[in-house]
Amino acid sequence: MWLRQDIPAERLLLKVQVYSGLRIDSKGRPERIPPAEWARLRARLAAVEPLPIDPSPGLTALVQGWRPVSSSPAPALPGNAVPPKIAQVPAVNPPAAVRTLHDAAAAGDVAAVRRFLAQGTPVNSKGQEEASPLHRAAGAGHVSVIDALLSAGADVDPQDLAGATPLHYAARSGKDEACRRLLSRGAKVESGTKRGETPLMWAAESGHTTVMEFLLANGADPASRDELAQTPLHKAVAQGRTRAIELLLSEGVDVEAVDKSGAAPLLTASLWNQPLAAGILLKAGAKPSSSNNGIVGLSLQESSGTIRVVEAFLGMPAEKAGIKAGDLIIAVDDQSTEGLSLSDVCRLLRGPPGQKVAVAVHRPGISPKQWFTVVRQAAVSFSATPASASVAADKAGVKWVHIPGGSFMMGSDSGPPEERPAHRVSVGFFEMAKTEVTNKQYRACVAAGACTPAGSQSRCKSASSVDDQPVVCVDWNQAASFAMWVGGRLPSETEWEYAARSAGEDWRYPWGNEVPTCDRAAMNNDSRGCGRNETWPVCSKTAGNTQQGLCDMVGNVWEWTQDWYHDSYEGAPTDGSLWESPESPARVCRSGSWDGDATRMRATTRSKKAPGFGDSHIGIRVAR
């Protein structure tokens, strides 16, 4: 049967997306539409035509506008015309957003939650990873759903497969209001997972300082330890969460606390390549390791009397020697590991840098016993790490500008959907480079062996190489490498907008609300690049500087940020931290470029690019 449609193509696509809950990705494959986006699509459809049904579980929807024509073969089409690809089944399932109580809780759909409960769905039902509906609501920060579930008798501290509670989920996602509500209803602030990890540890690992402050104020122990004897400080250091580290140190935690492997936070900073974290610890009095700091680069776990390799870090001595994840350590030199604790085995593996250590492993299913010779490698020289980064920054000529902390309304309710909703965010102090990274600065990084050359992309044939113009044709990974070389990082999207608004001013542009001109921004004002048809030397448009002195925060080139791109601010962190979960196919770019018009010069303007993308409109600005 052939079908045809008698409605506009745009509305037809909208109807198919709403009733199927699916869309086509960039590779032509169907993918599920996120619940929040589906709700917006449904609202758009409802605004132009009545919906025939309330898409509820157990119902199917007939997409109106389709009607059968005939059961005969397809009619011939003129020339090389190709018949449209039209769905053959008019009745489709309702979107996944409302198929289960768990999905309704994650989507923040209170009405659907109540409908499921009224239909008899158990309020404490277990879903994926044995998470309850309350876990899903807490992780997404939907306070109204949390209230509805708890009022219906939901347990406030159910545990998922890993032993995590809803408070863990809210802490990891940075949902401070959800944390407040759960604690006010009796959630245990010191609840531990099966590995002994507390909500404070999860918040520290994710860098959500607002949540951390609230948990600490409600009795969370800043010195708590998990089964590996790691503290919240270890967790924050491993991920380079500088503000979380400073908060924990202000609580008086022991900067020399060692875990079961014998690693203090400073050694953790070395293992995870976190020079900025190391610098903070050194200022707090941490002592660099002794000469006995040779490491082999293994992550180990004690389980049922055995020592198992969780990870052999790429490029480290053990991995180079051939040890793999899953191997069981059965001897170190001439000593059997039978009966030894994890900390005992770690002490055997450590020793003077440059010395060899023989490690015997059992590789399940392959080899009962296999020996490897591993040459210990010196841990990073912590005292030199901050200095070396400073030398690199000085060599590159990076000028840092202090940005004071504060709070501001991020986004714009009057802007396009990706800038909504406007929401209040708190930001700690940080520093940002005064200018976009120049060609000269980037070439210094390449010469030092820390960066790969710019301009390998096909879109970059016309890119300028003039010293004082911004480097372009760099992808996200190249930008991150440069930032690390100078002892910095890419800014979070929140930090970027806060800085572009002159530290949170309620302005449309870095300089105020006056419309952009070529005196203030290098943009497409009648002619591309204000007449140059390319980038301008950095800081050419000083009339557009922020109050703190940052140049070119709009125009000239787009600038990579650390965050993954999301198509709205629904569920965004409110404490200035990175929005890293869930991952998406693209990273956020900010600023607008020399090829953009005045409407793209607003401080709230967002763009998205795949991490491997680079062209003559995208450059770098670093923060720390």
189-236 pLDDT tens trace: 999 999 999 999 999 998 899 899 999 999 999 999 998 899 999 999
pLDDT digits (tens, 9 = 90+) for 144-156: 999 999 999 999 9
Q: How far apart are CA 495 and CA 486, in angstroms?
A: 18
- Amino acid type, 386: P
pLDDT at 59 over 50: no
- Name the more confident of 55 and 226: 226
Residues ≥6 apart with Cβ < 8 Å to 495? 403, 427, 430, 432, 576, 623
Please tell me the predicted confidence (pLDDT) of residue 61.
Answer: 28
Average pLDDT over residues 579-594: 87
HSE of 537, CA atoms in CB hemisphere, 13 A:
6
247-251 long-range contacts, CB within 8 A, separation 24+: 247/209, 247/212, 247/213, 247/216, 248/204, 248/212, 248/222, 249/280, 249/284, 251/216, 251/222
pLDDT for the residue numbered 187: 97
Q: 442 or 455, which is more confident?
A: 442
Is residue 567 packed enough to be buried (19+ CB in 10 Å), middle (13-18) or exposed (0-12)? Answer: middle
Helices 242-250, 209-217: axis angle to 10 degrees equals 20
The percentage of the chain sitting over the pLDDT mark of 90, rounded to a whole number, equals 51
Res 461: pLDDT: 59
Cβ(353)–Cβ(376) under 8 Å? yes
Mean pLDDT of all residues in 572-600: 86
DSSP, residue by residue, 185-237: TT--TT---TT---HHHHHHHHT-HHHHHHHHHTT--TT---TT---HHHHHH
Average pLDDT over residues 3-15: 54
Q: Please tell me the distance from the alpha carbon of residue 211 to that of residue 234, in angstroms, as a whole number.
A: 18
- Please check whether residue 437 is in contact with residue 482, taking contact to mean a CB–CB distance below 8 angstroms: yes
Predicted pLDDT of residue 569: 94
CA-to-CA distance for 104 and 102, rounded, in angstroms? 5
The whole-number pLDDT of residue 65 equals 29
CB atoms within 10 A of CB 74: 8
Which among 236, 238, 364, 375 has a CA at the least distance from the CA of 303?
364
Q: What's the pLDDT at 531?
A: 81
- For the chain, what percent of residues have pLDDT higher than 70? 81
Question: Out of 63-77, 126-140, 512-526, 545-559, which region has the weakest mean confidence (pLDDT)?
Answer: 63-77
pLDDT tens across 299-352, in order? 788 877 899 998 787 778 898 999 998 899 999 998 999 998 887 898 888 888
Q: End-to-end distance of the chain based on CA atoms, in angstroms?
A: 62
Tokens of 10: 């745009």
128 has a pLDDT exceeding 70: yes
Other CB atoms within a 10 A radius of the CB of residue 57 amount to: 17
- Residue 40 and residue 44: Cα distance in Å, rounded? 6
**In the numeric block, which tokens belong to residue 512?**
């105020």
Of the two residues 70 and 266, the one the predictor is more confident about is 266
pLDDT of residue 9: 56
Length, in residues, of the chain:
624
13 pLDDT higher than 80: no
Burial 157-171 (b: 16+ CB within 10 A, else e): ebbbeeebbbbbbbb
Q: Is 563 in contact with 587 (CB distance < 8 Å)?
A: yes
What are phi and psi for residue 371, nearest 5 degrees? Answer: -100, 140
**Contact between 604 and 497 (Cβ < 8 Å):** yes
Average pLDDT over residues 165-180: 94
Instruction: Give me the pLDDT at residue 28, please.
Output: 62
Query: What is the location of CATH 3.90.1580.10 in the chain?
Result: 385-619
Distances (CA, A) of 338 to 263, 369, 442, 509: 22, 14, 52, 65
Coil, helix or strand for 299?
Answer: strand
What class does CATH assign to 294-378?
mainly beta
Q: What is the pLDDT of residue 87?
A: 32
Average pLDDT over residues 158-168: 95
Specify the pLDDT at position 462: 54
C-alpha span between 44 and 21 (Å, rounded): 14
Task: Give tens-digit pLDDT for 536-545.
Answer: 999 999 999 9
The 10s digit of each residue's pLDDT in 511-525 is 999 999 999 999 986
Q: What is the pLDDT of residue 392?
A: 66
Average pLDDT on 540-555 reads: 96
For position 257, what pLDDT does the model report?
A: 92
Name the segment(s) of the chain with CATH classification 2.30.42.10: 294-378
**CA dist 431 to 260, 383, 504, 553, 571, Å?**
35, 22, 15, 14, 26
How many helices (H) and strands (E) are present in the chain, helices listed first? 20, 22
Residue 313 sits at the vertex; the CA angle it makes with 340 and 253, to the nearest 5 degrees, is 70
pLDDT per position as a tens digit, 455-499: 866 667 556 788 999 999 999 989 988 998 888 889 999 999 999
**Given this model, what pLDDT does residue 576 score?**
75
Q: What is the mean pLDDT of the chain?
A: 82
State the virtual CA torsion across 87, 92, 95, 99 in degrees, nearest 10. -150
- The pLDDT assigned to 53 comes to 38
Enter the CATH code of domain 385-619: 3.90.1580.10
- Kindly state the average pLDDT of the residues 433-442: 96
Interatomic CA distance for residues 622 and 396, integer angstroms: 12
Angle between helices 166-173 and 209-217 (to 10 degrees): 140
